[in-house]
Structure 1
């Protein structure tokens, strides 16, 4: 069974996201295509007019996949990218260990589903789903933990720099914890074997992630692109050089940012140079000081000539930050649509003018699907209590309070009493005004105290009444903790491993069937008991 709730009514999405989906006039100028009724034909046309480096792209992908025994669907899709009638739909995500959060799978499955839908709409074209791995991200604190069985498991490693380049040493400890957490679920054994092969038999995290994602999603034809590649970075050298020597992006994006920040709090701020210098164990910003370029927190410095020589010899050492990453992706892929979360959409909205400056087609931006997976036990409890799915999105205390107010025989909301106080003090204020105008302020102060006292009584009445509903309120808390762990959306906290251990590949098929590639609705999906 499926239920849908508008994103704006869940309370878990900010104003920027809801305005983006509503195509609010104050945000609409910052993206090219409607996110709910996108013109795919126009996006395809724009991409056809751009010279995508297909031969170099396919050669780089074939090199990345050389050590993998990929299924035919993946090989066919890589080969198809040589054809001018083939386009990609892309999602991007860092190589979180053990896949990180549930929404990692949702983004990929939505990308796959959209390609299937587009093929039906445009049979003369081919559409390849791509997972662009943000392997140069250095935020180990974010990428190195998973939440499983009510606990946060963390990879303790002293390594620094790009997480994708880190060696997967010390992960045996986490694997043992995961095995314990998955228990004897029907598919736990095969999943553990897959995780051990991925993380214990590959030299770094990006290769482990490539193997794991290919093993999980390869049957759908998903192509994984690892941008940490000399061949792919070479395709972006004109922009990298321009950034280092002319720094155009800073002024362009700042101009957009000034307009956006009058309405929204934005999270990505451009720097003078939006590039990092990347080596194993190190990822540091590049800054220009006079006629020299320095790598912060290191002794590395370059002149214009030595910097140009470094670029030509080692393009892989230059890593675009969030401002330049999207355009790198769109330069090397024949991409027409990008699927991202709210945070990603926010920074993409800063980039349209930068794309125009470099004459790169701006893709259709689509908000990724959000899903809540509900289990049978929780559904039975909700039915017994008479709680709807939409109500679950309120805070636990609001749900409990509403339940008690609906089912109590006592009058807990003191509306009449508030009205009586207001009426009494209106009369007292009138009397005060006739005696001495200075007494009006004193009367007003006493009114506030009286209303505050009524509020305290109302709170105490509710608290006392809750005790009569102890069983029901406990059930509500259990449901809420199960479906919204730590008060968060399930997809932003839980890992997919226990779901996959319970159902195996059928879990992805179930989610894939529930996904709507283009939507402004949050999806609630019933799944079998774990």
Structure 2
């Protein structure tokens, strides 16, 4: 079961218009994600990377090192080796290091990426396509990633945290596991969930390695390659662009020009800073601010002259961390990438960056909105049918749903439209009479008409409210089912952790998702489990 994203209230006007390929948005991206457009993207990226064998070798070598401790890595390692081949390209998604993967859309992002690689291989058999999960290891907002939701419980990793989250130690996560065990269900795969948590967090020393281990366990049979770009060798490749940012504030000027002409009906997702680089150490990640020729590290006493900061960049590129504006460029510099797959918020800030990419002479990737889905059991779908509803009705707000259902099942007609039309017909005759007298009488007739129409509307609302009270039991059943499928009145994928389904269905539910989703079918999917 599928519906266009544009028909679902949870998706922004910007994403709806992007998916509709509105003309006024076309200058903000390079190629739309139609399958036919990937051929031109491959040709362009291959040309850009024709003298980039060194970059491919560095990338492959870094990944081999990052995978040293990973077990059962045959398919991923084959893909890492393939990255040295000039006919190999990547499809990339990115995600934060959310505790135990965070919300369900972590899976949907990666599955979209894996499925697109398979589809492109069929269309372009002489090329290789490697699915990349780019870990946001340099993010420093720990509060965003320190929890996940299991059913109606919140599992939280409480600790002090500074600096890039990927470097944080996993100390204390054994206590989190103890809490998780107590709320985990008793289903057959609960032990497998616990094993996966242990393999990630109790067998690795930092969050980056832990997240890689978990993602690999879930997708090792698909050749997924998990990349931590917080690496000196990779950042050495990007130093010319980092230098340009420090000296010329290249991203600020390019993005600022884009935002000056940004369509006013859309919210601006992110505003650029004058320098869109952080200074990163094990202890902190702080903004770099240029003031009168001196480069200050925000909230510290550290400062550099222009020559000093360029020398620091040369000697220690790993200390320079791109922010949300520069990270996409960094990604496309070090990967032979064709397409970036992300959620609506990510797509929104990528659409701000096309001018910046053009100014740096870096190919802008195809942007693809990740698959979105609702997982529902056959029992839940049967309940929807018994209530006389469509599954799509549950996407409404609560009051919209109960109003629709009340109209459907009420044994009396609540719609006063016929009475309003009859009243308007009667007043039409009075208006004709008023035209033959004076304006004051016409005003009095109009006022009386508005008053009586408003009275009917008020009675209609009171009748609807009374019927809702009478039918409360039926309506409550519908709202309870909606709450199961849309926790906190949000899409399930933005709230529920994968473990809720894994502990009952095991890896089978991931395979069902893979088989149910087509990355180039830009519609919301309801998947029956």
Bin for the TM-score computed over the shorter chain: over 0.9
CA distance in 1, matches of 2:22, 2:194: 47
Moved more, 388-397 or 434-443: 434-443
Q: CA deviation at 1:292?
A: 0.2
Aligned with 1:45 (options 43, 46, 49): 43
Aligned to 1:8: 6
TM-score (norm 2): 0.95
Correspondences of 1:386-401 after superposition (within 5 Å): 386-401=388-403
- For residues 311-351 of structure 1, give each alpha carbon's deviation from its aligned partner in whole angstroms, at most 9, with x where no partner exists: 12221111111111111111101111111111111111111
CA contact (8 A) 1:102 1:493 kept: yes
Q: CA deviation at 1:509?
A: 1.0
Aligned with 2:458 (options 456, 459, 475): 456
Aligned with 1:25 (options 19, 23, 26): 23
Q: CA deviation at 1:296?
A: 1.2
Gaps of 5+ in 1: none
Q: Could you say if the C-alpha distance between residues 440 and 141 of structure 1 is closer, same or farther in structure 2, counting changes exceeding 3 Å?
A: farther
Aligned to 2:198: 196
Correspondences of 1:140-151 after superposition (within 5 Å): 140-151=142-153
Aligned with 2:210 (options 203, 208, 211): 208
CA contact (8 A) 1:36 1:520 kept: no
Q: Give aligned pairs, total.
A: 525
Moved more, 415-424 or 192-201: 415-424
CA contact (8 A) 2:185 2:503 kept: no
Q: CA RMSD in A?
A: 1.8
- For residues 433-472 of structure 1, give each alpha carbon's deviation from its aligned partner in whole angstroms, at most 9, with x where no partner exists: 6665356556545544433332221111112112332332
- For residues 353-399 of structure 1, give each alpha carbon's deviation from its aligned partner in whole angstroms, at most 9, with x where no partner exists: 21121111111111100011111221111121221122222222222
Q: CA deviation at 1:410?
A: 1.1
Aligned to 2:280: 278
CA contact (8 A) 1:198 1:212 kept: yes
CA distance in 1, matches of 2:135, 2:253: 28
Aligned to 1:248: 250
CA distance in 2, matches of 1:380, 1:88: 41
Aligned with 2:479 (options 477, 480, 483): 477
Moved more, 81-90 or 402-411: 402-411
CA contact (8 A) 1:70 1:214 kept: no
CA distance in 2, matches of 1:436, 1:284: 74
CA distance in 2, matches of 1:142, 1:436: 67
CA distance in 1, matches of 2:415, 2:333: 60
CA contact (8 A) 1:396 1:476 kept: no
CA distance in 2, matches of 1:124, 1:273: 41
CA distance in 1, matches of 2:344, 2:482: 23
CA distance in 2, matches of 1:442, 1:376: 60
CA distance in 1, matches of 2:172, 2:431: 73
CA contact (8 A) 1:20 1:35 kept: no
Q: State whether structure 2 residue 158 is matched by structure 1 residue 160.
A: no
CA distance in 1, matches of 2:294, 2:16: 45
Aligned with 1:494 (options 488, 493, 496): 496
Aligned to 1:73: 75
SS at 2:125 equivalent: coil
Aligned to 1:417: 419
CA distance in 2, matches of 1:301, 1:447: 73
CA distance in 2, matches of 1:443, 1:165: 75
Moved more, 487-496 or 135-144: 135-144
TM-score (norm 1): 0.95
SS at 2:31 equivalent: coil
CA distance in 2, matches of 1:271, 1:441: 58
Q: Could you say if the C-alpha distance between residues 303 and 38 of structure 1 is closer, same or farther in structure 2, counting changes exceeding 3 Å?
A: farther
Aligned to 2:380: 378
CA distance in 2, matches of 1:285, 1:189: 43
Aligned to 2:318: 316
Q: State whether structure 2 residue 362 is matched by structure 1 residue 360.
A: yes
Q: Could you say if the C-alpha distance between residues 158 and 430 of structure 1 is closer, same or farther in structure 2, counting changes exceeding 3 Å?
A: farther
CA contact (8 A) 1:149 1:181 kept: no
CA distance in 2, matches of 1:173, 1:278: 29
Aligned to 2:296: 294
Q: Could you say if the C-alpha distance between residues 180 and 453 of structure 1 is closer, same or farther in structure 2, counting changes exceeding 3 Å?
A: farther
Q: Could you say if the C-alpha distance between residues 442 and 258 of structure 1 is closer, same or farther in structure 2, counting changes exceeding 3 Å?
A: farther
CA distance in 2, matches of 1:519, 1:25: 21
Moved more, 471-480 or 442-451: 442-451
Q: CA deviation at 1:156?
A: 1.8
Q: Could you say if the C-alpha distance between residues 238 and 457 of structure 1 is closer, same or farther in structure 2, counting changes exceeding 3 Å?
A: same
Aligned to 2:513: 511
CA contact (8 A) 2:70 2:213 kept: yes
CA contact (8 A) 1:267 1:346 kept: yes
Moved more, 159-168 or 41-50: 159-168
- For residues 2-51 of structure 1, give each alpha carbon's deviation from its aligned partner in whole angstroms, at most 9, with x where no partner exists: x1111111221111111111111011221111224451111111111123
Q: CA deviation at 1:426?
A: 4.8
Q: Could you say if the C-alpha distance between residues 445 and 297 of structure 1 is closer, same or farther in structure 2, counting changes exceeding 3 Å?
A: farther
CA distance in 1, matches of 2:142, 2:59: 29
- For residues 395-433 of structure 1, give each alpha carbon's deviation from its aligned partner in whole angstroms, at most 9, with x where no partner exists: 222222112212222120111232244345555566666
Correspondences of 1:123-142 after superposition (within 5 Å): 123-142=125-144
